[in-house]
Structure 1
Amino acid sequence: MQNIVKKQKSRTRKGQKQRNFQKKTNCDSVNFKSNQAACEYEQTATKKVKNEKSISPIITEETPNSQQRIEQQQKLEDLISDEFGKELSSFTFNNSLENNQEEEQETLNEFMREQVKFEEIYSYQKNYLKNQNEIQSHMVAILFDWLVEVAHSFHFKRETFYLSRNYVERFLLRQPNVLIAKFQLLGVAAIFIAHKCEEIYPKTLKDFHRLIQDQYTIQDIEEMEVAILKCLDFRMNPNTPIFWLNYYTKLWDEFIIDKELNVQLKERTNESYYRYRELVQLFDICLIDYRFKKDEKITALSLIYLVIAKSLLIFEDYKKIANQQQEIKCFIDSDHEYNKIFKQFIEQSDFYLYFDKKIEFKDLKDVICETTKYFILRFDNTLPRVLLNNQEFIDELQHEELLSFQTYNRNTIETINFLLKQQQQ
């Protein structure tokens, strides 16, 4: 019994010695690390003050050869500064502000010409129904009008709708004989892909399935999505018509700001807001109507011309002009002050229809006459749904972002059907 007690006491002493040894080792380790950190701090402090006129002698003594390293570093910095100054001497600092603005404008023009050239990848024929047996032009208008309403209800941007429109048209051109039973499914899958490319806060697949849950399954949407991506060779990022419209309106506002005729489209005023809303609704209906085959860039410029002219009360009755285009033809050929200003805008803005062909004012004449017929559309100037009763959200938004939300006009299909009946008479 006594032997057992002795063994236990010896084990206790051994364990205590081991614990004491570990504590001592840990303390030594901590002291070593703290000393090491202090040394590193001193070296860092020396480096930080290397550019000061007077260096602490205490720190210099604690860091051997530090003065020599500081002098070498200073010479290197002086050498870099001299070389950098030589490079900049021929750059923008010695140029005037006016030259800088000209260079920036030329850079922007070059970029936009590259964007026009980029369109060659995504260009396609507008008669995309030639290979379709079941789908007709009025069905296309109904589908696109419905997609506008979907984008409006989901608080999507205009770019999202125009991307989905591009996908549908290119798919119909490449894929012949699409069944009418699959046509709405094509539209849903197209805007589902488009919103994933464009929107910051995407919806779920179930949100889109609720739109057509009585006709298709979630698997049907996924299969159509894959079919679209393969058919379009995964080329899903074209410059859409709304891209060009927004670019042209920006250029117009910059051009007209110092003119006596100062009518802007994106100024943060109620008048400019309603003017822009009228412009984009006209643009929507032109491109939703399958029978309208005019170039989208010239269409955008033509609508800007007409909307500004309407704001200036140049024409008294647009419904009359829409039915009888003789008045607008005579006005375009006249030497009116507004025509001179718009010609100057076209010439100075360096617009390109194709990479090697500039847009001229005379190119707009036929398109202006063609687009006047859509001015019978009754405009809907109510705020987008996401902005209704949400003044705080409106105040937080940039004005450009506020204008980017897709809006819906319930009179679009009614107007297209009316024009179709007029054509058939």
Structure 2
Amino acid sequence: MQNNVKKQNSRARKGHKQRNLGIKTNCDSVKFKSNQAACEYVQATTKKVKNENAIYPIITEETPNSEKRIQSQQNSSKLENLIGDAFGKDLSSFTFNNSLENNQEEEQETLNEFMRDQVKFEEIYSYQKNYLNNQNEIQSHMVAILFDWLVEVAHSFHFKRETFYLSRNYIERYLLRQPNVLIAKFQLLGVAAIFIAHKCEEIYPKTLKDFHRLIQDQYTIQEIEEMEVAILKCLDFRMNPNTPIFWLNYYTKLWDEYIVDKELNVSLKERSNESYYRYRELVQLFDVCLIDYRFKKDEKITALSLIYLVIAKSMQIFEDYGKMASQQAEIKCFFDSNHEYNQIFRQFIDQSDLYLHFDRKIEFKDLRDVVCETTKYFILRFDNALPRVLLNNQDFIDELQHEELLSFQTYNRNTIETINYLLKQKQ
């Protein structure tokens, strides 16, 4: 919400900091084969570029770093391996220096007025989510694979989550306006979209050659440039929408403010290890929901529903999340009950400035169907490793503002596996 101000204030500091750290990002040449059969993985060759900080093939049966994990998974049932304990984390990997956190000075009334303006602003960027209806070659599983790969690209380049979500927005709007995009140009569309997005969002942009290394066996630099121009023209140069992660961050901020005077120790953005991992769990669930094309619910409702479920999980309201993920009856019964947690969350929604549209506020009952549907994504095995740029950099973590630390995109290698499993269960 205040990204532009934060970027200007931290530009000099980040430049000095990154020079000292010597952060370097390299990537592999990747072949994109999204015309393969739905939900299949095929082996693809990977060409190393300088070091091991590489992006793996986006469609692969096995990767070197996950070979042992995949072998161990085969020794037990599929569902048991997908379901992970989100709280079995190593909280000793890093610590927070709370003395460096800045005070929030903005008045709540001013913030609410600004956010209402943002909801109204969305009207010029609104679009239908059935963008595959006018596509002959591109199918839903191909969209999931492309988005998953773009998350991995953003993670490898140390980009912010906003960068990925901007590229996702560009791709969906382009597919809606441009019918019958060829599958041979689909990865080119993804690379050009994240190339544009990173120039809009990142303080230190990469060169076009950095992105060309991702697909140098497929397309030329000139083709990337031509696709970039095509996207800009197709979208009428409207490249600054409010993305879903923008609203998720706003709702988490409101939740933390709401529980200040409550007997709840389940914050999402407090500068502590527990809150950090809780937030990481939330955004990984949010990623997998929005990567899955079949999930077309309103993104604001999805964000609030996941906050509802993640907080409930932190409070240990439900005992068996495996059962809850496969059978929604329990969560439906609980949501309709007069449980104290439901009263707290209903009050949070009623008192907060949450608008679905400019003229319609969100109500607690609006969450019911989406809460039940998003529960199934809790079979996702969470990846709680620190983003690559933060590994072994305690000083870097201490210097960062907390919002900036939370903003790095992370990649969960179980995303496509989870979506494929859910697809097979539905068939």
With normalisation by structure 1, the TM-score equals 0.75
SS of 2:132's partner is coil
> Given the alignment of the two structures, is residue 381 of structure 1 paired with residue 384 of structure 2, yes or no?
yes
Answer with 1 or 2: which has the greater Rg: 1
Partner of 1:298: 301
Matches within 5 A, 1:18-57: none
1:395 deviates by 1.1
Structure 2 CA distance, aligned partners of 1:287 and 1:307?
17
1:255 corresponds to which letter in structure 2?
Y
Listed one character per residue, the Cα deviations across residues 75-129 of structure 1 (whole Å, up to 9, x for unaligned) are: xxxxxxxxxxxxxxxxxxxxxxxxxx9x933322221111011101000000000
1:307 corresponds to which letter in structure 2?
V
1:324 deviates by 0.8
1:160 corresponds to which letter in structure 2?
T
Partner of 2:190: 187
Uncovered stretches (5+) of structure 1, i.e. residues with no partner: 1-100
Q: Which residue of 364, 376, 390 maps to 1:361?
A: 364
Structure 2 CA distance, aligned partners of 1:414 and 1:318?
18
> Given the alignment of the two structures, is residue 289 of structure 1 paired with residue 292 of structure 2, yes or no?
yes
> Given the alignment of the two structures, is residue 279 of structure 1 paired with residue 296 of structure 2, yes or no?
no
Matches within 5 A, 1:19-418: 104-418=107-421
1:260 corresponds to which letter in structure 2?
E
1:322 deviates by 1.2
SS of 1:292's partner is coil
The structure with higher relative contact order (CA 8 Å, sep 6+) is: 2
1:319 deviates by 1.4
> Given the alignment of the two structures, is residue 420 of structure 1 paired with residue 417 of structure 2, yes or no?
no
Structure 2 CA distance, aligned partners of 1:157 and 1:350?
26
1:378 deviates by 0.2
SS of 1:216's partner is coil
In structure 2, the CA distance between the partners of 1:335 and 1:124, relative to structure 1 (3 Å rule), is: same
Structure 2 CA distance, aligned partners of 1:285 and 1:225?
26
SS of 1:129's partner is helix
Structure 1 CA distance, aligned partners of 2:226 and 2:107?
46
Identity, in percent, stands at 91
Structure 2 CA distance, aligned partners of 1:372 and 1:218?
42
2:240 corresponds to which letter in structure 1?
N
Structure 2 CA distance, aligned partners of 1:350 and 1:273?
24
Partner of 1:12: none
1:336 corresponds to which letter in structure 2?
H
Q: How many residues are matched?
A: 323
Structure 2 CA distance, aligned partners of 1:180 and 1:376?
31
1:322 corresponds to which letter in structure 2?
A
Listed one character per residue, the Cα deviations across residues 132-180 of structure 1 (whole Å, up to 9, x for unaligned) are: 0000000000000000000000000000000000000000000000000
SS of 1:257's partner is helix
1:389 deviates by 1.3
Structure 2 CA distance, aligned partners of 1:155 and 1:326?
40
Listed one character per residue, the Cα deviations across residues 160-202 of structure 1 (whole Å, up to 9, x for unaligned) are: 0000000000000000000000000000000000000000000
Structure 2 CA distance, aligned partners of 1:151 and 1:261?
34
Listed one character per residue, the Cα deviations across residues 331-376 of structure 1 (whole Å, up to 9, x for unaligned) are: 1111111111101100110210000000000000000001000000
1:309 deviates by 0.2
Structure 1 CA distance, aligned partners of 2:348 and 2:230?
44
Listed one character per residue, the Cα deviations across residues 10-61 of structure 1 (whole Å, up to 9, x for unaligned) are: xxxxxxxxxxxxxxxxxxxxxxxxxxxxxxxxxxxxxxxxxxxxxxxxxxxx
Partner of 1:71: none
Structure 1 CA distance, aligned partners of 2:330 and 2:234?
46
Structure 2 CA distance, aligned partners of 1:139 and 1:203?
26
Uncovered stretches (5+) of structure 2, i.e. residues with no partner: 1-103
Structure 1 CA distance, aligned partners of 2:328 and 2:320?
11
1:314 deviates by 0.1
Listed one character per residue, the Cα deviations across residues 372-404 of structure 1 (whole Å, up to 9, x for unaligned) are: 000000000000010111111111111111000
Structure 2 CA distance, aligned partners of 1:251 and 1:141?
30
Structure 2 CA distance, aligned partners of 1:144 and 1:381?
20
SS of 2:356's partner is strand
Instruction: Show structure 1 runs of 4+ deviating over 6 A.
Output: none
Structure 2 CA distance, aligned partners of 1:340 and 1:136?
41
Structure (1/2) with the larger helix percentage: 1
Structure 2 CA distance, aligned partners of 1:130 and 1:217?
29
1:360 corresponds to which letter in structure 2?
E
